[in-house]
Amino acid sequence: MKKNNEKGFSLIELLVVVIIIAIVAAIAIPNLLASRRAANEASAISSLRTIHSANATYQATLGANTLYAADLPALATAGLIDTALGGASGSKSGYDFLATASTTTANYCAQAEPQSTSTGTRSFAVNEQGVIYQYGAAGAANTACGAAGAFTVGAGTAIQ
């Protein structure tokens, strides 16, 4: 029992505060992770737009109006994309990027795959037409971008 001149919190009061903080954290953390996934996916879409614009610039300047850059490091070497996308790993914001292009025809394909389900749940692909397609499962864009820049929509849905 407390005397009138004693100050401080009782054990029950502290436990109530800890329980309230735990409930708030249990509600907030899943929302935070979902927001992070959505931000990573938006960044991947934006990066594919950048890759598409860089490939159009490459074709008009260095590709003699017929050929696209062979891969992402070629775009980085030309100074058209940053080194995060055009580096050896081609990773940015929890997504891995890959681009292939034909050496004989004017087509290319670029894809973005999530590194794990915590960084993203959809994969994306874009081709020379500039339409970005989403694929519901991680790894599904691998079927869209074939060898030498060949692009097959498959189970993709156009989003942009």
Establish if 1 belongs to a structural domain: no
Establish if 154 belongs to a structural domain: yes
Establish if 5 belongs to a structural domain: no
pLDDT in tens, 22-39: 999 888 888 888 899 999
Hey, how many other C-beta atoms are within 10 angstroms of the C-beta on 66?
A: 9
Q: Is 128 helix (H, G, I), strand (E, B) or coil?
A: coil
Establish if 121 belongs to a structural domain: yes
Establish if 2 belongs to a structural domain: no
Greater confidence (116 vs 4) lies with: 116
Supply the pLDDT for residue 159: 87
Q: What is the DSSP string of 31-100?
A: HHHHHHHHHHHHHHHHHHHHHHHHHHHHHHHTSTTT---SSHHHHHHTTSS-HHHHSSS-EETTEEEEEE
Establish if 4 belongs to a structural domain: no
Establish if 122 belongs to a structural domain: yes
Range of the domain at 120: 11-158
pLDDT in tens, 61-118: 987 877 888 889 999 999 999 988 988 788 898 999 988 888 777 888 899 999 988 8
Establish if 3 belongs to a structural domain: no
Half-sphere exposure at residue 150, Cβ-oriented, CA atoms within 13 angstroms? 6
Our count of domains for the chain comes to: 1
Model confidence, pTM? 0.79
